[in-house]
Chain A
């Protein structure tokens, strides 16, 4: 980690891709054209436009991508609105990586993985998916359940269709769903929690979950009904953060700091924290 943790580095946005009506994907490298730093799947970085503000975003690219980092950003506040206005070539500031990341090199190894995401919640787990696809032999079967409001709100749709769902993929099963029927959609329709229950997965899996709080709540209930234990389920949290290093106090819940001790928590760890997230 950078010794001066509050002083960022300059990053160059090399490509801005419109992914959905309100989500854009940003490719970022250092001013020398190389990756700014090495990270683990699930870790985050502080991105800023000086004068606008700084915000914590998960790094959606896999560490196995050696050329650049990617951020998948939904327009929802002041900073993200500004970020949506920038073009390729724009410099931003980046500091990180922050947080613990998913245990891809220990707890996940040798396990069947069930990855559940909703909306832009695919961003942090995409890093896990592509990491596990890269080191395919280390993991068992990979199931991905992903849903959004509509077809055009599905993030990384092209990548899902042409890479994750490619016939060459070994034992990767993608289950897409959208909230309501629409023309040109032949896939599943319905909310993620119900779909997970319908799919009735074996309980011999490690679950990785990310999405809006309401999705998490009902999916968790559904998984428990299927017989999953909280110790099998991992999720990643979002709270307001400023420093990223567990000092500014903002993301403090109980004795934990989400930016440092999280953002990835196992459900049983999360259940022990006071209900303030």
Chain B
């Protein structure tokens, strides 16, 4: 384990940025933190969470897939991708770091999504332990430990120092290039911090939330539940929960006429949207109840069924904070699961 004084953290950022693009969470508006490309003078946010998740780095909101040149009856196909550059994301929370594994199971399963794969291969993730979890956090529900946040390098802030521990080969490579700035410290330097975090976790209002009532094979149990109606009653059918969610990965593919050709891009889509399943011949999910149900059934039942019991939620709590009508997966789990426990 190594450490650096928090006063010198800018020097650390500068040293990383000299080699590759560095992104850190920074305040971009009152109450809003986002990951931004680091430039000299940029400060890391004090906020726990960025308002968008970190999935953008690997699965951006819009991304060009292919360009077409059309002339008369002829079509030329152009792969618009340029070489992906190496980059570092600094300050990813444990929940977001875990979300990458959930996305990997979708995008890196056969047939591999090479757009995602390229970015994944070039990104190094430095996580940051959550010294002050929020009331909306429930990552522990899904077995995530914000005191040991994972990633390629894990970091902790404690008493004026930033502690760093490499987890993967990528992480070791990153830190070995920065050794001039970092001082060695005992392996147990962050034990007190870990203990403090785990102590707070026990006191969180959602500490007792469990996913035990859910998982693969529960489709029949919950699909026709009467409760979906009242749960979805106030749903606006917007995409806020989907778009701030680190694990939602549905996308749409659209064409855009640039005036010089056609650009085919993909963009985030939401199963909460009324046109998500709309076809020329009709729509199998006619009301918001069915769309709402799909989103939660997917995270709590369908995804685990296909992925060795792993849930499609990391408990980051963004939907809890951002839903315009305060309806979220916590409420769904509590309401559907209450007969169970």
Contact = CB atoms under 8 A, between A and B. Distances in A.
Q: Kindly state the interface size class of chain B when it binds its partner.
A: 35 or more
Interface stretch (B1-9, B105-113, B206-214, B333-341): B105-113
Given A91-B74, A240-B278, A242-B251, A51 B68 contact: yes
Contacts of B188: none
A238 interface: yes
Interface in A59-86: 76-78, 80
Interface residues of A, number: 40
B74 A252 contact: no
B255 A51 contact: yes
B215 to A, nearest CB: 11
Contact of B253 (A78, A248, A252): A248
Contacts of B277: 239-240, 250
A5 interface: yes
Given A77-B280, A91-B73, A248-B252, A3 B264 contact: no
B75 A243 contact: no
**Chain B interface SS verdict (over half):** mixed
A255 interface: yes
Interface stretch (A6-14, A173-181, A191-199, A221-229): A6-14
B161 interface: no
Contact of B66 (A1, A7, A243, A250): A7
B79 A252 contact: no
Interface in B240-293: 249-255, 257, 262, 264, 266, 269, 271, 276-281, 284-285, 290
Nearest to B113: A247
A190 B315 CA distance: 57
Contacts, number: 115
A14 B32 CA distance: 56
B70 interface: yes
A267 to B, nearest CB: 17
A54 B276 CA distance: 15
Contacts of A242: 251-253
A256 B209 CA distance: 28
B289 to A, nearest CB: 12
A93 interface: yes
Nearest to B67: A50
Nearest to A51: B262
B70 A50 contact: yes
A270 interface: no
Among B79, B277, B290, chain A packs the most CB atoms within 10 A around the CB of: B277
Given A1-B111, A4-B114, A255 B66 contact: no
B192 interface: no
Interface stretch (B35-43, B136-144, B150-158, B298-306): B298-306
B68 A93 contact: yes
Interface of A: 1, 3-10, 48, 50-54, 76-78, 80, 89-93, 238-240, 242-243, 245, 247-250, 252, 254-255, 274, 276-277
Q: 3 nearest interchain CB pairs?
A: A77-B280, A249-B250, A50-B68
